[in-house]
Amino acid sequence: MDVPGHRGRVGLSSPHGGSRRNPIRNRGPLQYRVDSAFASGKPAPLALLVVEKTCHKAHHCGILRLRLTPRNAIHLNGFPSPMNPNTTHRSASRPHERWFYTIASITLLAFTLIGFRMFYLQGNAFPGRPLPPPIRPLLITHGVLMTAWMVLSSIQPLLVAMHRKRVHMMLGRFGALLAAALVVVGLCVGIEATKVTPPDLQRFGLVTKQFLAVPVGSIVLFGGFVLAGVLNRRRPEIHRPMMLLASLSILSAALARIPVLNQWYVGTRLETFFTAFLVMVLLGMLLLAIKLFLTRKFDRWFAAGFTLLTASSVGISLGARTQVWDQISSFLLR
């Protein structure tokens, strides 16, 4: 149970003094009521917690003093109670969930480094071509922003897992600005790179003008997921999957530069429906399955966001061949 106005944790001490670090043993239904000391929204050094137990003996009802301690404390929602029937399951799955997002984000960072290895090690574009001089500064800027986002998205869940939430929130403000800059620069890179690419070059079954839909669609999805995550930053069950899906949505650029991951479906109907997005979708499906296995709980927000990402990937791939997109791309490239 989160205590309004208090950013730390809540520990228990008995009315006779001395810390009780062991959880309350519950032999019957408990009802919790926090005293109005927190109603003002300011941290209070001491408050009262009334524990009422359904029992025939009066001495089982009493008052426990509730002392605010930021370290070595006990969360009230960790106690078994009728108001929290899934306590044992939640407390067991929460560490797995926290570390899942850390490991998943580091995995996405690793794919980014592998996919853009020629850029990092040689300063070249894929598959070894020099960066086009007219847009070289723009490509370098985009590479720096992209790398910074992937590194930050790996650090943020790690900070949460280590209970460094204040640092997490501070870096979150920087992350929001970084995401906004990445959206703007990403759109510019997609458009300007299309202008300097031969018009008849085919990638994933799309000519250059059609392929513009892939980077534009990816960066729009990225911005949408980040916005959803920022708006729900106080709801971790939504915030965390949205931020992970934001990173996943722009990973197709790196995955497309790893030929061994894409050659197996070239020329098939899968390429028609997914173009450069198929490996990204398969990776997202794997992450969703791993999370379900670790937490033993179906994450509806992750599943809903991933479904949107998959449907959008198919829509972008098919829509890139339509007359509507031809008109939109002509407007962007004018």
Cβ-count burial 65-90 (b if 16+ within 10 Å, e if not): ebebbeeebbbbebbbbeebeebeee
Mean pLDDT lowest among 53-62, 106-115, 318-327: 53-62
pLDDT band at 40 (very low <50, low <70, confident <90, very high): very low
Give me the amino acid identity at 112: T
| 121 or 223, higher pLDDT | 223
Residue 189 in this model has a pLDDT that exceeds 70: yes
- pLDDT 10s digits, 105-142: 999 999 999 999 999 888 888 887 889 888 999 999 99
The phi, psi pair for 103, rounded to 5°, reads -65, -40
Q: Say how many residues make up the chain.
A: 334
pLDDT of residue 18: 47
Q: What is the pLDDT of residues 247-302, one digit of tens each?
A: 999 999 999 999 999 999 999 999 999 999 999 999 999 999 999 999 888 999 99
Where helices occur in the chain by DSSP H, the ranges are: 87-115, 117-122, 136-161, 165-195, 208-211, 213-231, 236-249, 252-255, 259-262, 269-274, 278-295, 300-319, 323-332
At 95 the pLDDT is: 66
> What is the residue-averaged pLDDT of the chain?
79
The CA distance from 275 to 105, in Å, is: 24
Q: Is the pLDDT of residue 93 over 70?
A: no
Which residues in 215-233 are b (16+ Cβ under 10 Å) and which e?
A: bbbbbbbbbbbbbbbbebe
More confident residue, 8 or 171: 171
Q: What is the rounded CA–CA span in Å between residue 131 and residue 176?
A: 28
How confident is the model at residue 73, as a pLDDT? Answer: 38
Q: pLDDT class for 65, splitting at 50, 70, 90?
A: very low
Contact at 8 Å (CB) between 310 and 249? no
Q: Which of 276, 283, 230, 225 is nearest to 108 (CA)?
A: 283
Q: Each residue of 142-164: pLDDT tens digit? A: 999 999 999 999 999 999 888 89
Residue 45 DSSP class:
S
Grade residue 52 by pLDDT with cuts at 50, 70 and 90: very low
Global pTM reads 0.73
pLDDT at 222: 97
Query: In this predicted structure, what is the pLDDT of residue 271?
Result: 95
Please, which residues have CB within 8 angstroms of residue 82's CB and are 6 or more apart in sequence?
A: 29, 30
Distance CA 168, CA 243 (A): 13
Average of per-residue pLDDT across 172-190: 96
Q: Return all residues near 175 (Cβ < 8 A) that are at least 6 apart.
A: 149, 152, 153, 156
Q: What is the pLDDT of residue 94?
A: 64
The percent of residues above 90 in pLDDT, for the chain, comes to 61
What was the pLDDT predicted at 98?
73
Query: What are the boundaries of each domain within the chain?
Result: 10-85, 89-332
Looking at residue 88, its pLDDT comes to 41
With cut-offs at 50, 70 and 90, classify the pLDDT of residue 33.
very low
Q: How far apart are CA 165 and CA 325, in angstroms?
A: 43
Residue 9 pLDDT class (50, 70, 90 cuts): very low
Segment among 31-40, 208-217, 223-232, 317-326 with least mean pLDDT:
31-40
Residue 304 confidence class, pLDDT cut points 50, 70, 90: very high
